[in-house]
Amino acid sequence: MKAARQAGIDDEHRYLLLRQLGKRALLPGDRPSITAPALNNSEFEVFMGLMESVAPGNGLLHYKPFHFTDKARDRWKGCRRKLRAMFRQAVIRGLCFVPEGCTEDEALDRFLRARVATAAERDATVDAADWGELHALITILQAMARKHGTKLAA
C-alpha cells in the first residue's frame, strides 16, 4: 500500500492492477491482495512494474526508477513471443493483415498503437510495451478469433 500511495494509485486502481494477476492474487472473499499466499516473487515484480508504469520516473519505495519494470521485462519475453505467434496465426487466417512494404513486426506495432490507448500515446512498439499493453493486445486477438469462430494458439 505504501508503494501504491507513493505512485499516486488509489485503492480501486490498485485492486484493478492486482486483478491483472488473475485468481492467484485473490484472498478468500475474492479480495485481491499482493500478499495472497499463491503469488510468487515474479508476480510481485510484475505488479510492482505495473505500478511503476502508472507513475513513470518515480522510484517506488527505496528502489531506483524502473527497478521492477526492468526485472519483470525479461519475463515479458514469453508474452511477446506468444503475441507474435498469435498475430502470425491471425494474419494466416485473414483476421489481420500486413500492409505491403511492412514487415510483420511493423504491422504488429501499428496494430498495438491502433488498439491500446496507452501505447498510442507514447508511440510504443511491441518490444517497448509493458505487461498491461501486451496482455490487452493478446486479449483483443483472442476476442477477434472467437468472433470469427476460431482459436489462436501460441
Q: What are the pLDDT tens digits along the chain (154 aa)?
A: 777 887 788 888 888 888 878 888 888 888 888 888 888 887 888 788 777 777 666 667 777 777 777 777 667 788 888 999 999 999 999 999 999 999 999 999 999 989 887 777 777 889 888 878 888 899 999 999 999 999 987 6
**pLDDT computed for residue 154 by the predictor:** 62
pLDDT of residue 57: 62
Domain boundaries of the chain, sorted by first residue: 2-73, 76-147
Report the alpha-carbon distance of residue 135 to residue 128 in Å, rounded: 13
Measured CA to CA, the distance from residue 86 to residue 148 in angstroms comes to 14
Q: Indicate the residue type of 41.
A: N
Provide the pLDDT for residue 48: 82
